[in-house]
Structure 1
């Protein structure tokens, strides 16, 4: 089975994440997409994150009607901060018959050379890249790389940061969230202050 790993803090998960995940599930050779909820991204401030459990629960709510998309808390059990290369090694050991690939935006591909042991990742895993409106110059070594596949997913400029800021300012962002995620955020008054 070929699994696409879509990493993120999902703080909160929004329709942009779902559209990309579903597009990868339906328009690539990946069998399943695992939404890997990152407890602590080395590049983000921990204190800006909603509790790990709440973010994972929102991913469950958002994906329950999509059989090819699964939430994953695999990184909750690993040492922090999390590095993708370590998570991939752990998953390969735990699921030796699965083939794991990464899903990332062009902006992340642009900084892949800064990732810990990125050569090891590229040697052992394929990468599925979706377009971003502003991704900058792609590093030459990644342009025609045989393990990097560009997937023509819709370009969505929607960010969790924008959603959090809008909620804090009392704006209605309901259309940007899966309905059950909106209800959960609204009921718990998340991101209001």
Structure 2
């Protein structure tokens, strides 16, 4: 099975995340997309970041109606700070029948050469890059790499930071979130 790994804090997960993941699950050769919730680093003080399991719960609620989208807590039990290469090695050992690819925004591709063991990642894994809003095309050394696939996914100018700030300001952001996530946030009074 071909699995795309979509890493993020998902604080909170919003419809933009779902649109990109579903687009890849439906319009690429990936069979599934796993939302890999990145754990809260014990070295970073970030008050706006919800607990790991609260963010995983939101991803679970957001994806439960989609057969090709799955939540993943795979990084919760890996040593911290963690690197993507370690997660990929762990997943390949745990699921030897699967092939794993990365999903990232084109802005992340610009700094990809600074990732730990990025050459090993490229040697063994494909990368699916979705567009971000930008006035200029983001040039990278990886533009014509055979394992990097630029996906023509819908561009959505929506961020978790915007959503958190809007909730704090008492704005109605319900249309920006999957219904199950909105209900959970409202019930738990998160980000207020």
**1:76 maps to which residue?**
76
**1:10 maps to which residue?**
10
Q: Secondary structure at the match of 2:16?
A: helix
Aligned pairs, number:
191
Give the TM-score, by structure 1 length: 0.94
Which blocks of at least 5 consecutive residues in structure 2 are unaligned? none
Check conservation: 1:13, 1:177, Cα contact below 8 A. Answer: yes
Check conservation: 2:75, 2:87, Cα contact below 8 A. Answer: yes
Q: CA deviation at 1:136?
A: 6.0
Which blocks of at least 5 consecutive residues in structure 1 are unaligned? none
CA offset digits 1:56-83 (Å, max 9, x no partner): 0000000000000000000001011221
**2:91 maps to which residue?**
91
Give the TM-score, by structure 2 length: 0.95
Q: What is the CA RMSD across the aligned residues, in angstroms?
A: 1.7
**1:30 maps to which residue?**
30
**2:154 maps to which residue?**
154
Q: CA deviation at 1:130?
A: 0.6
**1:105–1:45 Cα change, 3 Å:** farther
Moved over 2 A (4+): 40-48, 134-138
Check conservation: 2:40, 2:51, Cα contact below 8 A. Answer: no
